[in-house]
Structure 1
Amino acid sequence: MGDLQYREGVGIEFPTIEVRFEHLNVEAEALVGSMALPTFLNFGTNLLEELLNSLHLLSSRKKHLNILKDVSGIIKPSRMTLLLGPPSSGKTSLLLALAGKLDSKLKVSGNVTYNGHRMDEFVPQRSAAYISQQDLHMGELTVRETLAFAARCQGVGTRYDMLSELLRREKDANIKPDLDIDTFLKIISDHNKSDFLTCNLQILGLEVCADTVVGDQMIRGISGGQRKRVTTGEMLVGPVNALFMDEISTGLDSSTTFQIVNSLKQFVHILNVTCIISLLQPAPETYNLFDDVILLSEGQIVYQGPREFVLEFFESMGFRCPERKGVADFLQEVTSMKDQQQYWASKEYPYRFVTVKEFSEAFQSFHVGRKRRDDLANPFDKRKSHPAALTTKKYGVNNKELLKACFSREVLLMKRNSFVYITRLAQLVINGLVGSTIFLRTEMHRDSVIDGGIYMGALFFTIINIFFNGMAEFPMTIEKLPVFFKQRDHFIYPGWAYSLPIAILKIFIAFVEVGVWIVITYFLIGLDPDVGR
């Protein structure tokens, strides 16, 4: 679709984020082997051991694990960065560290900055989006409704104001912009988000299932690959300027992965977004879409830089990628003790296993590594950071809009689950009729303990029925909790905005159920007909 160079003529600068991480270390104390299994016996044993450890009566059996070891680098805006590495190399931990979402139990040292600003100077959860491997969504909502809710809560940020100013300056300067770019920018800055949603649905290939429910274990919905794309789209609809995507190709075929990455490439290059994507064995055509590559192994960075120089680096180390071998597969295998020897190409020296540490040290003297070191030596000038690049507000819209969005979604979910509430009401009516026949009295005496016991029995029967009739809400509420935790942690909405609509609507349903029960049972049982009672 072109680029934004012609925008410079009117003096409009779009916000960008440069992410730097220096001497980043992530360590953990964890149980290994059978003791790490989540069994009831292990839970009790581990709890007792932690108590004894705190009293210094027993030494800890936890092992010290180095997840990331002194990694440093720069993620540039407007460049697609591919994160590669074998399993357990620390890819997810690196993405979480860059997004500011690491578990508080981990020991973290080093610096992560956005445009020279530390994490405590802005809200990283709103400035960047981490897209995880897990697909957590409300199964009753359609794809369009899921993305619309995320867009409504996250807002459009400053894009609309910037676009309005941009169009005004272009008009004053008699500049005719590129039609494709102009249309795209108008779409992403739409206040109603309707056109933006359509654009994202097309980018992610979800227009064919836009009005299909997402589904879950009990509801038939979209496919696993489509669900993964919904997870990606949920973050793309927000006004973030940095994307950290973890294994977004899970469940997708190579053709679909290529289409998604190609669309993301256009998105990144047009809007100068910072993007790093972790993929598992990408196809050669998908690999070639990226500008930069980060190779991570055993918690250390083996290579970080332009994709064009990665093979040159390994050839300088004596390893060559076969012609019919995908470069991405070669990069993930060349550091492995089991697979490394087959790529040895040097005829001057016999093969010996080259460790990850040796690769990492050799990269420091490679011309790409030297350039990275020089770039890190020059700190980012905070004065060059765009005011709209980093978000200091915790939520995208005001409390009223958040409450309205959550309330509307909860009403929609109740409509989709109307069969449950109709069944509960029918069950209540049947139990009410049965209970009325058990305690059927046209006129009951009120002057003996026995008669009082009958009244108490009728009231107890009422309470038990109302209580157990509401138990159906428990599994439905628990099933939604993972989605709530995900969206709360992304600062899409606060906890009160989620729980308050549920409480209001559920109390209303409880009053309706109690009213129906009283209408059926009150006079049949023979309770006091006085209006004051």
Structure 2
Amino acid sequence: QMLREKKERLGVDAAKVEVRFEELTVEADVRVGRRALPTLLNCAVNAAQELATSSHMCTTRKKPIKIINGASGTIRPSRMTLLLGAPGSGKTTFLKALAGKLDSSLKLKGKVMYNGEEVNSSTPQYLHAYISQYDLHHAEMTVRETIDFSSKMLGTNNEFEMLGEAIRRKKGVINKVDQDLDSFIKATTFGEGSNLTTNYIIKILGLSECADTLVGDEMRRGISGGQKKRATIGEMLVGLARCFFMDDISTGLDSSTTYEIVKFLQQMAHLMDLTVVISLLQPPPETLELFDDIILLCEGQIVYHGPRENATGFFEIMGFKCPSRKNVADFLQEVTSKMDQKQYWIGDENKYQYRSIEKFAESFRSSYLPRPAKDDLCRTNNTGKREEILTSATRRISRWNIFKACFSREVLLLKRNSPLHIFKTVQITVMALVISTVFLRTNMNHKTVLDANKYMGSLFMAVVIVNFNGMTEIGMTIKRLPTFYKQRELLALPGWALLSSVFLISLPMSLLETGLWTSLTYYVIGYAPSFLRFIQQFLVLFAMHQMSMGLYRFLAAIGRTQVMANMLGTAALIAIYIFGGFVISKDNLQPWLQWGYWTSPFTYAQNAVALNEFLDERWASEFYYANAKTVGEAILKIRGLLTEWHWYWICVGILFGFSLVLNILTIFALEFMNSPHKHQVNIDSTKTKTECKKQKVGTRNASTGQVALPFQPLSLVFDHINYFVDMPKVTS
């Protein structure tokens, strides 16, 4: 409250935001019946059908289904709104539609407006925030670092410095404000963090004890599940948005923790004039009382939207009463269920008829008006601030700041993942020593073609091992993709910022690994005794390593799962080796397979290292083969490789070109491909629900409340079961 008052006095107050939605409908196209199952055959048939449909060769067999059906209402600022509904009722889709985060594959109809202005791509991102129900974080980062990164991406890392600037602008009655601000900063500053916004959020969420603890995962010890949920909430709260849409934030939390978090959110909503909508599955009574309004969503339709205290009264008018022993939240979700509705009927049992969801929604729209006069007053007061909201987009951070935030995070992750990079370094060192002993220079001559063939084998192994060492990018990229997809959606994290940071971080690691290999093998094996040749071989291997890392990053980005990425990586590895010109010479390839030779990156790496070695003076012994006059040229001719020196620089340039193109393609894959773990709607279950809700129980026999079960009921009987544990002899 002190922060709010000081902002108002200093002229940096933010406007209230009222959310209105009119005839909001969200549709999805789903496949019918067995074709919806994700089998290998179905995936192949569906892909072929999608291709044929895009070519207008056939029509799609998908059917539209309404996830949200004609929802209308108003969500007022300075109030807490609870979104209730059974699983599968459309709560997540509804929240994403209000937050403007709806998936592009869904069809949106109707309007969502903030203070009368329709939400679109030009709406400032900091006005609204969607908090996901999934806790996806980098396991190697601490809680403070996770929230601090979100603060940088949302542009609030210097939010409290605005007060200092306002103080410097106003030279009047500032002493009291300055003292209060100084006390606030001292109260929220703790530890080593310098971001006041991050410190503030950490303290009010009760994360002070674990602020500098790693988040952790299945393989790394970290914070608890409840603390992860708080960190997830803190990621978006740190944005200081005006509208918050929170999806199932109680998942994995006990009731007391949920109450504390909701209590804090209630205080923020009331004191900071925020618009807050929270989805909970089964809130306890004490948590329910913290909310001001309730939205009851059933099968995509709003059955009730109004003050919390009037919810039971509306259903009592319809003939259903909540017992005193019953939790109101459970009553609201069960009263629309066909199996549970009858127990709440307060009239004559013989006159009971099932009230469908459509009847409740129609009765609510026609006879119940939950909109107080304050709505119009709020809209009138905020009309003058629309321009301020839409023109205050200067809080959007620049691309340079986005890059700095991503780059600093990647440097941090590099340090935390140092055991992996140390292992890679040790691995390539051991492999270099092994290969050096196999091709030891004491057993290597350079006078005949057979001697040259041995050197060709060692060069092949160098390119192969450097390529293999880049395959670790598959696992590292797959591991970071779920978190990236979440941050791309919620923090507007661009793919170029992530990939450019990863690419720059990989340069010194690539230099180290290829430098170690070249240093340990070049003179031990006995390649051309020239420092210039040494540097040129190092350059080829460095370019090959960069190409390899770019290739496997791209395959991971389009595969998106570990299984698919490994399959694509193995297939690509086999292809580039077969067409690389060593396993099968270019002269032995069929003419219609020549394209494979020129498109394989291995071709250019093998040609470059071979040219660098065999065009040296020590391979200039006379040997006539075809048009070749030396031993070096002869081995190149026999292997079907290039023989002119200028091809060395062309091959190196093509390898760097491969790396550049593959990294650009990876950026496009990160930007436009969606997460493979998105929820899919099943048409069969929806049909069953639709048919079930359209049935009316008109007769007395049908009103017995008995439902035919789809399985044979069995009885389980147990009697005199004891469970005990023998006490240790020491304690007994």
Scaled by the length of structure 2, what TM-score is found? 0.67
Letter in 1 for 2:119: M
Letter in 2 for 1:522: Y
Q: Is the 8 A contact 1:163 1:189 kept in 2?
A: no
**Paired residue for 2:396?**
396
Shift in alpha-carbon separation, 1:361–1:170, aligned structure 2, 3 A? farther
- Write the mapping of 1:17-28 to structure 2, written as runs, cut at 5 A: 17-28=17-28
Deviates more, 1:24-33 or 1:70-79: 24-33
Shift in alpha-carbon separation, 1:152–1:50, aligned structure 2, 3 A? closer
CA deviations over 1:454-480 (Å, ceiling 9, x no partner): 121111111111121222232011110
**Paired residue for 2:320?**
319
The number of equivalent residue pairs is: 531
Distance, in Å, in 2 between the alignment partners of 1:530 and 1:6 is: 72
Q: Is the 8 A contact 1:15 1:389 kept in 2?
A: no
Distance, in Å, in 2 between the alignment partners of 1:523 and 1:182 is: 65
**Paired residue for 1:79?**
79
User: How much does 1:125 deviate?
Assistant: 3.6
Distance, in Å, in 1 between the alignment partners of 2:240 and 2:225 is: 26
**Paired residue for 1:416?**
416
User: How much does 1:103 deviate?
Assistant: 1.5
Shift in alpha-carbon separation, 1:162–1:198, aligned structure 2, 3 A? closer
Q: Is the 8 A contact 2:49 2:60 kept in 1?
A: yes
Deviates more, 1:246-255 or 1:223-232: 223-232
**Paired residue for 2:98?**
98
Letter in 1 for 2:218: Q
Deviates more, 1:346-355 or 1:136-145: 346-355
CA deviations over 1:408-457 (Å, ceiling 9, x no partner): 11111111111111111111111111111111114854343222211211
CA deviations over 1:216-250 (Å, ceiling 9, x no partner): 23222222222122111111111311111000111
Distance, in Å, in 2 between the alignment partners of 1:312 and 1:171 is: 55
Is residue 356 of structure 2 the alignment partner of residue 355 of structure 1? yes
Distance, in Å, in 1 between the alignment partners of 2:80 and 2:33 is: 38
Deviates more, 1:34-43 or 1:149-158: 149-158
User: How much does 1:387 deviate?
Assistant: 1.5
Letter in 1 for 2:73: G
**Paired residue for 1:239?**
240
User: How much does 1:14 deviate?
Assistant: 2.6
**Paired residue for 2:482?**
482
Q: Is the 8 A contact 1:406 1:497 kept in 2?
A: yes
User: How much does 1:45 deviate?
Assistant: 1.5
Deviates more, 1:28-37 or 1:514-523: 28-37
CA deviations over 1:247-288 (Å, ceiling 9, x no partner): 011111111100000011112222111110000100100000
**Paired residue for 1:431?**
431
Q: Is the 8 A contact 1:116 1:379 kept in 2?
A: no
User: How much does 1:56 deviate?
Assistant: 6.5
**Paired residue for 1:368?**
369
Q: Is the 8 A contact 2:70 2:301 kept in 1?
A: yes
User: How much does 1:77 deviate?
Assistant: 1.2
**Paired residue for 2:623?**
none
Shift in alpha-carbon separation, 1:465–1:338, aligned structure 2, 3 A? same
Is residue 222 of structure 2 the alignment partner of residue 221 of structure 1? yes
Shift in alpha-carbon separation, 1:508–1:7, aligned structure 2, 3 A? closer
- Write the mapping of 1:280-319 to structure 2, written as runs, cut at 5 A: 280-319=281-320
Q: Is the 8 A contact 1:156 1:238 kept in 2?
A: yes
Deviates more, 1:333-342 or 1:367-376: 367-376
Is residue 138 of structure 2 the alignment partner of residue 148 of structure 1? no
Distance, in Å, in 1 between the alignment partners of 2:135 and 2:75 is: 26
Q: Is the 8 A contact 1:85 1:332 kept in 2?
A: yes
Letter in 2 for 1:284: P
**Paired residue for 2:502?**
502
**Paired residue for 2:630?**
none
Distance, in Å, in 1 between the alignment partners of 2:237 and 2:326 is: 33
Shift in alpha-carbon separation, 1:195–1:6, aligned structure 2, 3 A? closer
Higher relative contact order (CA 8 A, sep 6+): 1
**Paired residue for 1:120?**
120
User: How much does 1:119 deviate?
Assistant: 2.1
User: How much does 1:20 deviate?
Assistant: 0.9
Shift in alpha-carbon separation, 1:218–1:458, aligned structure 2, 3 A? same
Shift in alpha-carbon separation, 1:375–1:433, aligned structure 2, 3 A? same
Q: Is the 8 A contact 1:241 1:389 kept in 2?
A: no
Report SS of the residue matched to 1:26.
Answer: strand
Report SS of the residue matched to 1:111.
Answer: strand
Is residue 198 of structure 2 the alignment partner of residue 197 of structure 1? yes
Deviates more, 1:67-76 or 1:194-203: 194-203
CA deviations over 1:318-357 (Å, ceiling 9, x no partner): 1111101111111111111111111111359822111112
Letter in 2 for 1:69: N
**Paired residue for 1:458?**
458
Report SS of the residue matched to 2:513.
Answer: helix
Shift in alpha-carbon separation, 1:180–1:225, aligned structure 2, 3 A? farther
Distance, in Å, in 1 between the alignment partners of 2:38 and 2:179 is: 57
* Structure 1 unmatched runs, 5+: none
Letter in 1 for 2:523: F
Shift in alpha-carbon separation, 1:266–1:3, aligned structure 2, 3 A? farther
Letter in 1 for 2:258: T
**Paired residue for 1:263?**
264
Shift in alpha-carbon separation, 1:195–1:374, aligned structure 2, 3 A? closer
Letter in 1 for 2:61: R
**Paired residue for 1:138?**
138
Distance, in Å, in 1 between the alignment partners of 2:409 and 2:223 is: 20
CA deviations over 1:287-309 (Å, ceiling 9, x no partner): 00011111111111111111121
**Paired residue for 2:602?**
none
Report SS of the residue matched to 1:424.
Answer: helix
Letter in 2 for 1:61: R
Shift in alpha-carbon separation, 1:107–1:13, aligned structure 2, 3 A? same
Q: Percent identity?
A: 49
Q: Is the 8 A contact 1:212 1:221 kept in 2?
A: yes
**Based on CA coordinates, which of the two structures has the bigger radius of gyration?**
2
Report SS of the residue matched to 2:140.
Answer: coil
CA deviations over 1:474-520 (Å, ceiling 9, x no partner): 20111101211221223443222211121111121111111111111
Shift in alpha-carbon separation, 1:347–1:384, aligned structure 2, 3 A? farther
Report SS of the residue matched to 1:532.
Answer: helix
CA deviations over 1:26-82 (Å, ceiling 9, x no partner): 111102544223222110121233345556765543232111111111111111110
Shift in alpha-carbon separation, 1:389–1:343, aligned structure 2, 3 A? farther
User: How much does 1:183 deviate?
Assistant: 6.0
User: How much does 1:152 deviate?
Assistant: 2.2
Shift in alpha-carbon separation, 1:271–1:166, aligned structure 2, 3 A? farther
Q: Is the 8 A contact 1:163 1:185 kept in 2?
A: no
Letter in 1 for 2:356: T
Letter in 1 for 2:127: S
Distance, in Å, in 2 between the alignment partners of 1:382 and 1:189 is: 37
